[in-house]
Amino acid sequence: MLNFILIAVGAIVLAFVLVKVVDKFLPPKVKPILTIVLWLLIGFLGYQTYQSIYEPIQFNKVKKKRYAQVIESLIDIRDAQLAHRTVNGNFSKDFDGLIKFLDTAKFTITQRRDSSVLDEAMTKRFGVDMFKEIVIIDTLGFESVKDSLFKNSDRYKTMMNVPVGKPGEKFKLQAGYLEQNGIKIPVFEASVLKNAILHDQNKDLLVQENQVVSVDGVNGDALKVGSMDEVKTIGNWPKTYGDNE
């Protein structure tokens, strides 16, 4: 892009020089036509130079605004999935199941307290009362998962919909298990392609965005949270867009 700008600026300067040359050396009959052509060329190159600077700025503004909205939805999906794992021990494979879970599930509210009880084995061994420390967990009640996560909002019912970009686009949701040291660990991933989020933007800039590798950018061709290849529930966006953990 920088090379193009330099070439365009150079061409504009050259065109100005040619206008002066035409005005000074060419016959009067030829001057008007060539002068008009050169001024049209200068105008075209000036417009192209302006666009080459303006379009990336506008692209980045649109990108950041849309990414922020998509990330809010991905965070909602992650919170719902983490609640599902807390209650059921795994992640939901589809949005229908996840929404049904939110409509019906409850968190158990507990309280931990320290106590001590008679240690019968040690008492028998030493002939005097011996006690051991224990932790007692009391169940205090239950709280709706939906109310805990979303308060009075029903946005969870539409969290499968990508909020911006290509109309009708939905997040891709996957869930399963990874085996580590003989233990199956539940994992999930929710994602949407950048091509869907920025489908109506400059195609060349979108190609560049899909190839981003940067600490302050969203790497890869999609926004996602979780992973089907690693045990993690973080998002792939930088913290400039908000908490990704």
Which of 11, 38, 74 is CA-nearest to residue 236? 74
- In angstroms, the CA 71 to CA 141 distance is 33
Please check whether residues 199 and 151 belong to one and the same domain: yes
Least trusted range by pLDDT, from 83-87, 134-138, 212-216, 233-237? 134-138
DSSP state of 119: -
- In this prediction, residue 230 carries a pLDDT of 94
Total number of domains constituting the chain: 2
Please check whether residues 68 and 158 belong to one and the same domain: yes
Please check whether residues 49 and 71 belong to one and the same domain: no
For 60-72, what is each residue's pLDDT tens digit?
999 999 999 999 9
Q: Around 132, how many Cα atoms within 13 Å sit in the side-chain half-sphere?
A: 7
pTM for the whole thing? 0.71
Please check whether residues 28 and 138 belong to one and the same domain: no
Confidence bin at 215 (pLDDT 50/70/90): confident
N- to C-terminal Cα separation, the chain = 35
Residue 140 has pLDDT above 60, yes or no: no
Confidence bin at 195 (pLDDT 50/70/90): very high
- DSSP letter for each residue of 89-139: SS--SSHHHHHHHHHH-EEEEEEEEEEEEE-HHHHHHHSS--EEEEEEEEE
Residue 153 has pLDDT above 80, yes or no: yes
Mean pLDDT of 144-148: 86
Pick the more confident residue, 175 or 57.
175
Please check whether residues 78 and 67 belong to one and the same domain: yes
Where in the sequence is the domain holding 16, given as residue range(s)? 2-55
Quick check: 18 and 38 in contact, CB under 8 A? yes
